[in-house]
């Protein structure tokens, strides 16, 4: 996922959209905005953002969106999780996945979530406690590329909407494989921003904004399509792929945040002028008002099995 300042640029009506986004974008043109401190992609360093707490709300609101609930639960079923398993989630954020995982593995199972953000880890602990899952999940601060966990420990290790945001995705996948037991499952799920389809009358402007911002924000905006290959390259066996489409015709909050951020970043990065960005958003809002809004985005999930060491037997 690529989400940042959903609340900071809410646009209620067409008129408001034109005036407020133009003013905001014009004033931020050429320099990082308030949430863009240091890194364009805030998920690379949440705790260094101006208002890290807002990202707790963003992840939780995404986690509650019915289409996102369906997407991630389909992926978790695809990974074949079983009751009693010990599962690791790297890049666990506020613990949306970990709470699902804890319910799936049940009271005999256990979940560990690792994330570099202290703000996220604190929120994740609180939210798990509030759901009565505090004892089943252990949240730790850490870097997924250097896990302080022993080899061959977990029945399953996952990274969901994480690789898109990191500098060295291969290092994280290698760590997931290292800490998984032979016969255990490694799973990755990510969106692929090259598959973002928006029905907009100005297709050229749409591509400039959508592709231009993705290239500036992410090391690997096409992360989704790389996942299967990453598992094969790590020597996993029985690698399988599951494709899911995020489809929105009602302009859900997740989509609204995505569109508004694209517009704002396009101006901040000097890709388009503020007036063009405002016109682009206004047309999106017109399509919503007229009941013809259309956006889809592919999410890819890949899972594979860690083979037994040479000379060993498969469990």
Ligand X SMILES: C[S@@+](CC[C@H](N)C(=O)[O-])C[C@H]1O[C@@H](n2cnc3c(N)ncnc32)[C@H](O)[C@@H]1O
Beta strand ranges found along the chain (DSSP E): 86-90, 110-115, 137-141, 154-160, 180-191, 197-198, 237-248, 295-305
Angle at 160 between CA 216 and CA 75, to 5 degrees: 130
Tokens standing for residue 234: 């790590």
> Given candidates 162, 198, 236, 276, which one binds ligand X under the rule CB under 6 A?
162
Q: Which residues contact 185 (CB under 8 A, 6 or more apart)?
A: 79, 80, 81, 155, 156, 157, 303, 304, 305, 306
Reference 85, options 181, 179, 155; nearest CA is: 155
Per CB under 6 A, does 276 bind ligand X?
Answer: no
In the complex with ligand X, the residue whose CB is nearer, 91 or 276, is 91
In the complex with ligand X, the residue whose CB is nearer, 22 or 189, is 189
Q: Compute how many other C-beta atoms are within 10 angstroms of the C-beta atom of residue 101.
A: 28
Per CB under 6 A, does 157 bind ligand X?
Answer: no
247-250 long-range contacts (CB < 8 A, ≥24 apart) are 247/67, 247/295, 247/296, 248/67, 248/293, 248/295, 248/296, 249/293, 249/294, 249/295, 250/288, 250/293
SS3 of the chain: helix, strand, coil, percent, to 5: 50, 20, 35
In the complex with ligand X, the residue whose CB is nearer, 140 or 286, is 140
Per CB under 6 A, does 101 bind ligand X?
Answer: no
Per CB under 6 A, does 301 bind ligand X?
Answer: no
In the complex with ligand X, the residue whose CB is nearer, 92 or 180, is 92
> Given candidates 115, 192, 220, 248, which one binds ligand X under the rule CB under 6 A?
115
Cα 280 → chain centroid: 24
> Given candidates 35, 52, 91, 301, which one binds ligand X under the rule CB under 6 A?
91
Q: Which range touches ligand X (CB under 6 A), out of 92-100, 129-137, 237-245, 254-262?
A: 92-100
Per CB under 6 A, does 161 bind ligand X?
Answer: yes
> Given candidates 21, 40, 87, 90, which one binds ligand X under the rule CB under 6 A?
90
Minimum gap (Å) between residue 43 Cβ and ligand X: 4
In the complex with ligand X, the residue whose CB is nearer, 22 or 226, is 226
In the complex with ligand X, the residue whose CB is nearer, 22 or 117, is 117
Per CB under 6 A, does 187 bind ligand X?
Answer: no
Reference 301, options 100, 126, 170, 162; nearest CA is: 162
> Given candidates 96, 133, 186, 266, which one binds ligand X under the rule CB under 6 A?
96
Minimum gap (Å) between residue 65 Cβ and ligand X: 11
237-248 and 154-160 strand pairing: unpaired
Per CB under 6 A, does 177 bind ligand X?
Answer: no
Interface with ligand X in residues 26-85 (CB under 6 A):
43-44, 46, 59, 63
Tokens standing for residue 61: 């609101």
Neighbour-count burial of 21, counting CB atoms closer than 10 A to its CB (0-12 exposed, 13-18 middle, 19+ buried): buried
Q: Which residue is nearest to ligand X (CB)?
A: 93
Binding residues with ligand X: total (CB under 6 A)? 24
Per CB under 6 A, does 128 bind ligand X?
Answer: no
Per CB under 6 A, does 147 bind ligand X?
Answer: no
Whose tokens are 């290239």? That residue is 215
Q: Which range touches ligand X (CB under 6 A), out of 122-130, 132-140, 156-164, 231-239?
A: 156-164
Where along the sequence are the contacts to ligand X (CB under 6 A)? 1, 43-44, 46, 59, 63, 90-93, 96-97, 115-117, 120, 143-145, 160-162, 165-166
């Amino acid at each position: 996922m690529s989400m940042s300042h959903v609340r900071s640029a809410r646009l209620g009506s067409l008129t408001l959209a034109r005036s407020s986004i133009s003013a905001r974008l014009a004033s931020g043109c050429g320099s990082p905005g308030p949430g863009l401190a240091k890194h364009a992609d805030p998920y690379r360093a949440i705790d260094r953002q101006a208002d890290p707490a807002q990202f707790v709300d963003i992840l939780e609101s995404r986690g509650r969106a019915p289409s996102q609930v369906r997407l991630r639960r389909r992926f978790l079923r695809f990974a074949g999780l079983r009751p009693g398993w010990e599962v690791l989630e790297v890049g666990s954020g506020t613990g949306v996945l970990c709470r699902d995982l804890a319910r799936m593995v049940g009271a005999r199972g256990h979940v560990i979530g690792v994330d570099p953000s202290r703000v996220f880890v604190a929120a994740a602990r609180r939210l798990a406690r509030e759901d009565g899952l505090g004892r089943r999940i252990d949240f730790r601060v850490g870097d997924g590329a250097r896990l302080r966990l022993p080899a061959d420990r977990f029945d399953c290790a996952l990274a969901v909407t994480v690789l898109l945001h990191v500098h060295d995705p291969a290092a994280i996948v290698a760590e997931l494989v290292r800490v998984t037991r032979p016969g255990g499952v490694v799973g990755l799920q990510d969106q692929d921003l090259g598959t973002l389809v928006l029905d907009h009358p100005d297709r050229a402007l749409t591509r400039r904004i959508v592709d231009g911002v993705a290239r500036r924000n992410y090391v690997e905006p096409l992360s989704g399509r790389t996942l299967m290959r990453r598992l094969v390259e790590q020597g996993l066996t029985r690698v399988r792929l599951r494709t899911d489409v995020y489809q929105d015709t009602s302009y859900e909050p997740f989509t609204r945040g995505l569109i508004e951020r694209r517009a704002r970043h396009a101006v901040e990065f000097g890709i388009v002028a503020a007036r063009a960005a405002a016109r682009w958003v206004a047309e999106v809002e017109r399509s919503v008002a007229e009941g013809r809004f259309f956006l889809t985005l592919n999410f890819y999930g890949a899972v594979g099995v860690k083979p037994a060491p040479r000379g060993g037997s498969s469990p």
